[in-house]
Amino acid sequence: MALYSWTGYTEKGKSSSGMIDAVSIREAKLKLRSQGLFVSTIAEEAHGLVHPLRDITLKGLLGRVRMEDLAVTTRQLSTLVGASIPLVDALNALYEQTDSPPMKKTIAQVRDSVNEGLSFADSLAQHKRVYPDLYVNMVRSGEVSGALDVVLLRLAEFLEGQHRLRSRVTAALLYPAVLLFISIMVLMYLLTAVVPKVVGMFESMNQVLPVPTRVLIALSTFLSATWWIFVVAAVVIAVLVSRWRKTENGSLKFDQFRTGFPIYGSVYRKVSVARFARTLGTLLASGVPIIESLRIVKTVVQNRIMEIAIENSIAEVMDGSSLAAPLKRSGVFPPILVHMISVGEKSGSLEEMLTKAAESYEGDVETTVAGLTSILEPIMIVIMGGIVGFVVISILMPMLEMSTIVR
């Protein structure tokens, strides 16, 4: 099935445009005609749905729907549906409003599926790269309960919160990462381009070079001859680790390693707990049953240790246990979170307790990352300044000795 873009007009003479899935141009025109649309131009898109293997290309990466675009369109759709606008008309308006080409194409495909008789949730489920199980199941519960606008609003707030947390953490870590990269590049340039040019001058001297200079020359010679080995080794190691992480044992071992890693492990655990609490609270507040909610959360936390604990909890909850009890026995979740869940279950305010816990841990993550960044920046500057200073001093020392001999 191919994807066709078209322009035309409605029965009332109003201009319209969009995209539609069909086997051929003729079938596309028939579909549009059955919807009361008259086609002026129609052409097949270069690509329909993105093939999984194309994701690794630059075009595939640029063609992905960004989380912020999904959050914006979800909030807009909530407003339109809340204004009692029919879903197809709301999707049409959303299509015309959206600027992102990948998002625009996806909305067009969802709209056409709804027009053909599929439910909104089933239409979204055909685009799992854009709409995850969390999104689809919340929409499904909204359709069943008749509160689709409320569910979409909760989804928009959830996506905006996740994007906001990710953006703040990324922004806090970006400066140290850029500083480290630039420092390494400058150091490599000095050792492989600058130092070799003055080595000949040093070797022509009939005196013993200072120890720092000899160390610098040895290091420069070594890196100039073997730098490519380090590059190849880094690529090979990255590929092997990536494949190992995709195995059952590898993913578990890797998560155990980074959970126990100093400083980073604490932040990683807090992020996972915040994601667990925020997602579960949003799903339960939207009317998704707790078992289905836990199954969805398991795919969202991105922590294999936590996934195993959730799997065990699902089995016990299905047998009639409370949620807090198996979470406490797992030893994976913080006691404060477990206590809040227990209180929420007893008082009937589990969704509210989970939301408060998520806000607490998200704030803790932001504070911790900001504090670490403020400490890390000066430490990195001092270390890299010391290394560059060592290079400069190692070059200047023999030059100063030469000037002394000449005098």
Q: What's the predicted TM-score (pTM) here?
A: 0.69
pLDDT at 53: 35
Residue with token string 């070799």: 196
> To the nearest 10°, the Cα dihedral for 149, 155, 158, 164?
-90
3-state SS class at 342? helix
Q: CA 250, 276, 314 angle in degrees (round to 5)?
A: 80
pLDDT (tens digit per residue) in 276-320: 998 898 888 888 889 988 988 888 888 889 999 999 999 999 998
Q: Is residue 28 a contact partner of residue 20, using CB atoms and an 8 Å limit?
A: yes
pLDDT at 333: 92
Give the C-alpha separation, 148 to 94, whole Å. 16
pLDDT at 63: 57
Q: Is residue 112 a contact partner of residue 20, using CB atoms and an 8 Å limit?
A: yes
Which residues in the chain show pLDDT less than 50?
Answer: 47-62
Strand partners, 21: 3
Q: Is residue 127 a contact partner of residue 89, using CB atoms and an 8 Å limit?
A: no
pLDDT at 343: 93
